[in-house]
A and B are shown apart, each in its own frame.
Chain A
């Protein structure tokens, strides 16, 4: 069926289109050329409306073990946001740790058509995919976590060559069905198992003698050489520790110019100045990002209220456990592979530290100049639930609103921040870069995040409104693969998105050694570890989309 979307104001940064009135044609889930005979089956009038590709959340904890621990441990948080069943939708719960079904519906209602789970443990990847399979409408995918797994650290301690590490990375990404590689507190999760309580960039793991810096270099090189489009996704050392900005600056400059994505950078941008020994490092960090073109970041903005922090970083979550609110928390050591920590948390606007965290995040957004290299996240749910994105967009686009909110926060924190003096307001075009074109490019989605011919027809239509929070909360229409799923902000159809992966090539002979390792040291067979394509398809509503590798990578 050929559908014409007529007369919308197109904002499509992937093609340099900024607020131009054009028609879009859709057929079989794809954006197509205007039919030569002019025949269409359906026309939807979008005159005056703002039209963007569906939004992409490139870092959101939507599936996997730690998310499910968070759900299970927070009945009181769900109770305030239970979601009743409708003719169309399953029941569930929302807020900080939403059920998979509710998460999918709410993302779609906000105009999002894809979300990527950033911390898939190889050994827990099967679960992450089960949960994402039960997340409706949006496309999904994930970054597989390496860097604290004993196999890699053994290889590095033995000084194995880069080729071997590349093979192992490619093998892991392939058999855990991932689209990228993540490292969390490089080597630190492993060091915590040996009772180390912190690990600086150049500090050695007490057993392996390997440092975080070496892990970052090895893994980022592997990702680049394999041609994986998404750069190594890095949750750095010393998350949340005052003074960690220096580690972050070291990490940025120490990566030898290799592509690196530094995630939830806000949590890594803290200084130690002032009476509270806690200050903003946003200006220095932003300057380093501006001058190092190999670096991309997402912010991990915090917003005030109750949430839950779910992280692979068992070391730092354990160190922070006294801040749990309510006072309950979980950490886990996991399978000689990784770990996790889950802490409920309440960000308070009258807390100096929390208020400054809020300001640091916004300073970072506003001081990083290139919107293609910074991405809009709250590190859902760690900084705030993803449902707060429209509010965050308003903070970025509306200076007077931002300064009104700022003026209500902890007064000493206000004095410690230069935020009030920053005039920048994001444009619609820049928002579209951060949440669509840039995100698709960063994740490596060839056919998403743009409105060009051949692209998937994931399209979001808004009514322009000076109240940007209102505008981005309730799109007029959302099309997922060409099908209208949202009308006037309400879900009208439930579809099931695809799972995006990459399949880098590797030398299969590494399986010989891996098999011996699984047999000897792990508790499952290598063959049973692998997640087959059939498991992603599952009961038939799942599907797999293999995204292309960069040139230079081997396909």
Chain B
């Protein structure tokens, strides 16, 4: 458990920032300054060490009390025809309070990472998948196929923690593990084995990935092809890959939906997931979608159990009206369908609201700066630093308890949104 020793050093601290919930961090806290001493990475270090600047809420740029700021948000919502609550970079109870407020205030809910997340949800809701979780990867993977994603840039410790452990449950020789990239090449060496075995890279452009994945699936299904290359890749190379996947005992196919940033990438995710199902006719293979940043998994989970749907429901008619297209908050803002935007972003000061003329309320991490001052800004605490909480990691299975590491006095998103709901 996260615990503090006498010197003000915390052990076994979980990271709500890294998506894979690394919980082996050692962290020191001196007054308000947090320092990652052990097991940090660029994303986690930034997450923990971003200093506190402002602590006072502002309305129209003027400092005011929290109570006044809350009243102002409630007024805006009362006068609103269509509120959107988005961003939603928050933890379990922040998500609960956002859902309760959306329900009462007839708002639409969305998350800052929904564009990527829905590339997966649309597949889940259409055909499903066979997926796995991180500890299974750690102990079982013999072939890791990375599709269209430079995962180490977003998940710096994924390889160290999940692919190159010192020991596994089934006495597998770690060096026997193969890593193959299809699409983007890795930006660093995290995918290189401890003894220096490099990942195989089968490069292609994002624009060619839909075709390349379709061909790979076809080869695995035993279809014969007329073409001898696709997207600049020789069919023989893809045939080799297909044979390796069929020969593997526990292959894992991973992708970051956020990095599959092209039109209708959900169709490519679907091809990938169906390919994994095909492989399971004879052997074992699993998908592993990587996400879990800025509370996206947490918020989608809470929304699903409280409303039946992930993000992108509109409560305007008094019940959850789910539509992945119509309730896309970015589309709604662009089409001028929103009069009040409530943006929650308690993890990362750089995840500011989208540029819009719509009246904007921000519950943001202290230190956040704006090109255009929002109508209301409330600096809120960061879960796992300023207040306790819980957060899900990428696989939607494991959640971690977050501890309060310092006493900053910053309110939690839960406290603020619950107060707004009361005031409504």
Contact = CB atoms under 8 A, between A and B. Distances in A.
Contact of A72 (B124, B132, B170, B286): B124
A42 interface: no
B322 to A, nearest CB: 5
Most buried by B among A82, A127, A528: A528
Nearest to A150: B169
Interface string A310-328: 0000000010000010011
A325 to B, nearest CB: 12
Interface magnitude class on chain A: 35 or more
Interface string B265-294: 000000000000000100110100000000
A421 interface: no
A327 B161 contact: no
Q: How large is the interface on B (under 10, 10 to 19, 20 to 34, 35 or more residues)?
A: 35 or more
B309 A78 contact: yes
B308 A73 contact: no
Given A75-B322, A92-B320, A332-B133, A523 B162 contact: yes
A402 B167 CA distance: 59
Interface in A116-133: 121, 123-124, 126-127, 130-131
B168 to A, nearest CB: 7
B306 A101 contact: yes
B181 interface: no
B168 A521 contact: yes
B301 A530 contact: no
B187 interface: no
Contact of B398 (A67, A324, A524): A524
Contacts of A127: 301, 392, 397, 399
A90 B129 contact: no
Interface stretch (B19-27, B43-51, B57-65, B354-362): B19-27
**Is the contact region of chain B dominated by helix, strand, or loop, or is it mixed?**
mixed
A99 B397 contact: no
> Which residue of A79, A85, A192, A337 has the most chain B CB atoms within 10 A of its CB atom?
A85
A97 B125 CA distance: 14
Interface string B189-217: 00000000000000000000000000000
A93 B128 CA distance: 21
A195 interface: yes
A109 to B, nearest CB: 18
A520 interface: yes
Contacts of A83: 319
Given A329-B128, A333-B133, A333-B136, A75 B397 contact: no
Contact of A134 (B96, B126, B132, B315): B96
B249 interface: yes
Contact of B124 (A73, A130, A539): A73
Contact of A530 (B1, B104, B166, B304): B1
A75 to B, nearest CB: 5
Contacts, number: 203
Contact of B24 (A79, A85, A525, A538): A525
A528 B23 contact: yes
A131 B165 CA distance: 33
Name the residue among B138, B304, B397, B401 with the largest chain A CB count within 10 angstroms. Answer: B397
A525 B10 CA distance: 14
B37 interface: no
B305 A73 contact: no
B319 A91 contact: yes
Contact of B121 (A68, A72, A332, A539): A72
A100 B305 contact: yes
A457 to B, nearest CB: 29
A521 B307 contact: no
Nearest to B162: A523
A98 B304 CA distance: 10
A13 interface: no
Contact of A328 (B2, B125, B140, B321): B125
A91 B134 contact: no
B240 interface: no
B184 interface: no
Nearest to B318: A84
A304 interface: no
B2 to A, nearest CB: 7
A288 interface: no
A494 interface: no
B23 A330 contact: no
A496 to B, nearest CB: 13
A209 interface: no
B120 to A, nearest CB: 10
Interface in A47-99: 63, 65, 67-69, 71-75, 78-79, 82-85, 90-93, 97-99
Contact of A195 (B20, B162, B249, B397): B249
Contacts of B2: 527-528
A353 interface: no
Interface string B294-308: 000000111011111
B365 interface: no
B170 A207 contact: yes
A193 B306 contact: no
A329 B20 CA distance: 25
8 contacts: A68-B301, A78-B309, A92-B307, A123-B398, A328-B128, A524-B400, A527-B12, A528-B23
Given A78-B309, A328-B124, A528-B23, 17 more contacts: A68-B305, A73-B124, A91-B315, A99-B307, A100-B306, A130-B92, A130-B399, A207-B170, A318-B130, A324-B128, A333-B136, A520-B165, A521-B135, A521-B167, A525-B1, A525-B24, A528-B401
Interface of A: 63, 65, 67-69, 71-75, 78-79, 82-85, 90-93, 97-101, 121, 123-124, 126-127, 130-131, 134, 150, 154, 192-195, 207, 318, 324, 327-337, 342, 520-525, 527-528, 530-532, 535, 538-539
Which 4 A-B pairs rank lowest in CB-CB distance, beginning with the nearest? Answer: A527-B1, A93-B308, A78-B308, A84-B318
